[in-house]
Structure 1
Amino acid sequence: MTKALLLLNMPENLRNKFHSKLARAFPTVNFALVDNVADVDRHLADAEILMTHGPYLSTRADHVLGHMPNLRWVQGTGTGMDNIIDRPSLPAHVQVTNMRGAHGPQMSEAAIASMLALSRNIPRSIRNQDKHAWQRWLPGIIHGKTVGILGIGVIAEALAPRCKALGMTVVGFSSSPREVTGFDRMHAMSELGEIIAQLDFLVLLTPYSKATHHIVNREVLMGMKQGSCLVNLARGGVVDEAALINALDDGPVSGAALDVFATEPLPGDHRFWSMENVIITCHMGGLTDDYDLQALPIIETNLRHYLDGKPDRMINIVRGGT
């Protein structure tokens, strides 16, 4: 019997949906469900399929990938494949697929919710509600503001028209600039430093790699427009977090909404937790209460092709096997 390891560090009801629906659809496959990478060792030796997300592997990625002698296919449950595709322990013969195209709606809503919350200072209202404190101030609006989106893929293509519908000017930054519906103009990523002072919001969606490590560095952050805000839905490593703290304390950045961090879970003593101009969400921008309905059609299609011995027919292939 084919064995698949499902390492899914997501809310219990959602991971159980993944497991039960896949088990019903593929009775000839043994699906082992694990929610913590620390508990996977007993499943590594005989699993030939791994379904997971790079951040779920945490610091044990090389250990896991290097101790799966029968591994033939990795199905990512997210779009970004960092901490999987870039690990030296991933054998060359292993095929890798992802969830490209499944996150546009929820990531767009997460970005817009973040901009609205920062603009209207919703966290202050919630803190005041906890204290039964009646205070009023002048909220900002995002209508008429300029948003820069760093990383132009399927998610950015979904987000841009939504921002336009809210009256925003939309500027894109891409490794391969091209005309995309919903964007007023497009720039190369290398131009970020030159354009950054024109932006009211900077939304990060770029994949994490050596090329994008700390692409939002001190120079970029200190060059941002006075009163501007940062939204990170990409990966923590894209931002120099120490430089961001300085920019939030003393620089031009008035607020940040952060869904991803260099270390996850975010350590309890991290400065971000106590900063009133920072909104923290726990790497959940790509998740929804019905994410199984978005993700499982992709997984099931690929699993059928795998079991039929036709891996070349899989969709969302990031790297073909050998």
Structure 2
Amino acid sequence: MQLENTCEQNIHPSVIASAYGLTKSFAGKKALDNIDLEIKSGQVFAILGANGAGKTTLINIFLGRLNADQGDVSVFGVRPGSLQAKRQSGAMLQVANLPETLKIKEHIQLFQSYYPHPMDYQKVINYAGLQHMQNRYSKKLSGGEKQRLLFALSICGNPKLLFLDEPSVGMDVEARQGLWQGIRDLRAAGTGIVLTTHYLEEADNLADNIVLLKQGAIIRQGSSDDIKASISHTIIRFSSDKKLQEFEQLPAVINVKKSGKFIQLQTENVNQTLPPLLSANPNLQNLSVSSAGLEEAFLQLNNSGGE
């Protein structure tokens, strides 16, 4: 379902949540270290990082489920977790349990009743792709279908700020595409969306702004294109039966890996790598040369600490 854009917020986005100097520790170990960021209306803000980087801790502080040790945190100009903030926010968290004796329709109607101005029921159903299973009991849902229901519940309050913590885990390709379209439509309507995901393709497709976290600290922030442009590496991909070691000594090559029948070279200078590669292997099949993607940028920056 495509929602008509009647909101000017995505033309002139405003800051709806922010953190300045945010620090949080557990048992003396910093989970978040001096975080500064701003979340804007009508934009998707992706938080990326390895397990334990601090992504879920950051979301829980914005939701008021945890308190910061230091720093200023604001949601709609008020304290996180306050009634005013809750009424304008929605959340889909990684760990959630649902009563198994309610139908999908009953779950949604119950959550709608919690809010003074809930989203229209049909919009919720359409966004979540639940049109054909409204009368199914939640205990009968597959993992991906449960994720769809949790997404539906997160938007029942017609939120201006939506937190999605690994929302597409367990979804098949079709369901994930439906989720992405729902996120795009909500963004077009002015909702600010905070997304954590291990699917870098998801962040690349959806995010207006990306933060890379490592051990609780921001190591890079910007658009997907900005982050990909921050590393100058090029990817040379081809099919070959030769061993990886035969390509590791090529000029400017910094990484070699195997992916199925393909070999992938990461090079700092494609003009130095390509001629000797082709000279030694004149009959290479399925050769392609491309700029580094978000996955390569993420891996390099995470391994180097963003230097």
Q: TM-score range by the shorter chain?
A: under 0.3
| TM-score between the two structures when normalised by the length of structure 1 | 0.27
Task: Return the structure number with greater helix share.
Answer: 1
Structure index of larger Rg: 2
Higher relative contact order (CA 8 A, sep 6+): 2
Task: Return the structure number with greater strand share.
Answer: 2
